[in-house]
Amino acid sequence: MSIALTQFAFRNKRSLPWLLLALACMLTSAYCLLGWMSAAGRISGWIGLPQYAPQIPRLETQARLWSTLAIALPFVAALLLSVGKRAAGVQRGTDSAASLSYPAQPATEKWLAPILQYLVQLVISLIGTLGFVVGLFLLGLFLHKLGIRQG
C-alpha cells in the first residue's frame, strides 16, 4: 500500500511534466480503446452487406491501429510515471553509523524492487486508463442526451 501512495505523491517540480505526459498517454489510450470498439462494431455490422464490402479492409486496418495504441500506451504511461523521480537508494544525508546498523539488501530484492515498482505503476496506469474510458463514455452519453452530438 505504501508503494501505491508514493506513486501519487508530488515529489518535486521535475516530475510534474512527466506526470502530465503519463496522463495524456492514459487519455489517448482510452480514446483509442473506444475507437477500436467503434471500428470493431462497424466491421461486425457491415460483414455480409455488399455495399460496405470495399470499406471493411480499411476499417480492419484502423481497428488494428486503434488496438495497438490502446494496448501500448498504458505501458508507456507506466514508464513515464517513473521518470523524474529520485531513485529510492539516493538519500540526502547518510549517517555512516546508521548504515552499519542495517543489514545489507539481498541481491534478489535489488533486481525485484524495480520490477515490482513498474508493475505498481502499470496497475495505476491501467486504472487511470479505465477511469478515462468511463469519463469519455459518460461525456459522450451526456452530449448525446443534450443533442449536441448525434451518432
* Contact (CB, 8 A) for 59 and 42: yes
3-state helix, strand, coil in the chain (%, to 5): 80, 0, 20
- Of 10, 2, 24, the residue nearest 86 (C-alpha): 10
The three cell numbers locating residue 129: 486508463
Domain boundaries, the chain: 13-85+107-146
For each of the chain's 151 residues, which pLDDT tens digit applies?
455 445 555 556 778 889 999 999 999 999 999 999 999 999 998 888 889 889 999 999 999 999 999 999 999 999 999 886 755 554 455 545 555 566 666 777 778 888 999 999 999 999 999 999 999 999 999 998 998 876 5
The model carries a pTM of 0.76
Look at residue 1 in the predicted model and tell me its pLDDT: 46
Burial, 126: exposed, middle or buried (Cβ in 10 Å; 0-12, 13-18, 19+)? Answer: middle
The per-residue pLDDT for 66 is: 95
Cα-based distances in Å from 106 to 2, 65, 98, 100, 112: 21, 43, 18, 15, 10
Distances in Å between the Cα of 100 and the Cα atoms of 45, 89, 104, 144 are 68, 15, 9, 65
Buried b (16+ CB within 10 A) or exposed e, 98-111: eeeeeeeeeeeeee
Grid cell digits, residue 9: 505523491
Amino acid at 76: V
